[in-house]
A and B are shown apart, each in its own frame.
Chain A
């Protein structure tokens, strides 16, 4: 599998060549995130040290004067530590600051709970005017970073660490705000985002073996959410599983639930972190313990289908 760090570095160097106003800032994590590749343009690369609030403020100042600042550090420090700066210094003025959050969710694995950010989707989506993208694979990462640099306004792109899957081959398949339908099925809908999309695809295969047909959707843009797609999945399947490497409070699952409850109420089962902190360990082992694997998704699908059945039998639900 390709290295996220290397690929992120590559796309930034390409963009830096085309966009002379692009400026990259990190908080002493240039090597860890991969953005230090931008050092090939030394006058436009700034390592401002371990000062996330200052970094966001500096980015705001640069953006106000016509630059395109791209800031990268770990999700917990970017959306967490500097949340108020993003909200007050960047978003209120709709400034052109691009935030690339790496090491999100359970991906920091061995580093432990202080670094495992399960809250940033909730934190960012509640700030007005932000665009929030969770690329599922390398092609989406490249397309999302490019789109962020080339589209006005504050952007937050949520990435993991280590290896990044390669799922999609089509260059033009990614469009901000347009969820990707990966499979068609009418028994259950599986709406996933980020690196767990790969697990969702595996879950679909497991379900198929049991004769269950699932619609898998890659909802890479959590904000603005693809309302049309969510409503369609609800209408077609009547039972939805949401999948995220994030707290089930306030993230992708909540986004889907808000829309579904308003437009087309159906049963939802959320796969994600059940409102607890993480811990140190091996990535795959942690995913097992915290319920983030393909078979957890498949189990959730069967559970929500059962709930759909029971509602229909009792005559009170919506199928």
Chain B
């Protein structure tokens, strides 16, 4: 049995309607926070932050063993946000989980802020500073190796982008994790199909992405990255697999939650008008009945 999760959910939850609704509502709140903090900062990566919300909510409210009031607890599960530009999503999730005050979210990217543009260790709940794509999976491997050396049971989760799979170091790390049988590493690829300039397949073909990872010795699971039941089940399968690491290719939509952004490359790092953001907040206020 895991440590207490937020809102009374437990890790062995067989999704009740209430449990699912709870996670869905949290995701909605987090999307509002993301829009709010990026709008307030007038800078930040809106599209890529919105696409990985369900994965983050699932991790922090339904999966990871962690203690918001003791961020350095040595047996905690770790998260490496390899796609560091999704920091707003991580920050909103950490705030909701109780790592720091929600008011802090409005200081995103401002001078002297606890919330840097890309994750930094100064933020309670952030285990490693990231931001430079391709580097985080190696770091996750190192953490997992430390757990093994210490005979500890904590797991390490790494959220990468799909554009990030362009980086050679990702594949070096993939080989290392497979070679060393690091089954306590679970990677999640936020497969939103779009990178900074254009669709991923128009820049550098990633497909067949599943076959690539499988050939590198990973177990590959493909899910709808906005579906809490599928996310939950894939984490279960990853945990039950003890001979190799698992990668979850989470098919997502860049800008998910905002109809005018969904799937748009321009949502990567663009500035949005006040009208756009007001509209976004309106849209996010509508209750979500399913994921």
Contacts and interface: CB of A to CB of B under 8 A. Distances in A.
B128 A88 contact: no
Contacts of B172: 49, 51, 53-54
A61 B146 contact: yes
Interface stretch (B55-63, B137-145, B212-220): B137-145
B145 A93 contact: no
Contact of B176 (A43, A51, A65, A84): A51
Residues of B in contact with A, size category: 20 to 34
B169 interface: yes
Given A61-B139, A62-B142, A93-B121, A53 B132 contact: no
Contacts of A69: 142
Interface in A44-70: 44, 46, 48-49, 51, 53-67, 69
A61 B149 contact: no
A93 B128 contact: yes
Contacts of A57: 135-139, 141-142, 169, 173
Q: DSSP majority for the A interface?
A: helix
B175 A49 contact: yes
Contacts of B142: 57-65, 69
Interface of A: 23, 43-44, 46, 48-49, 51, 53-67, 69, 84-85, 88-89, 92-93
21 contacts: A48-B176, A51-B175, A53-B138, A54-B175, A56-B138, A57-B135, A57-B138, A57-B141, A58-B139, A58-B142, A59-B142, A60-B128, A61-B139, A61-B144, A62-B142, A62-B143, A64-B143, A65-B78, A65-B142, A67-B149, A93-B128
Interface of B: 74, 78, 80, 120-121, 127-129, 131-132, 134-147, 149-150, 168-169, 172-173, 175-176, 180
Given A53-B168, A60-B128, A88-B129, 16 more contacts: A44-B149, A48-B176, A51-B176, A53-B134, A56-B138, A58-B139, A61-B141, A61-B144, A66-B74, A66-B150, A67-B146, A67-B149, A69-B142, A85-B169, A88-B132, A89-B128
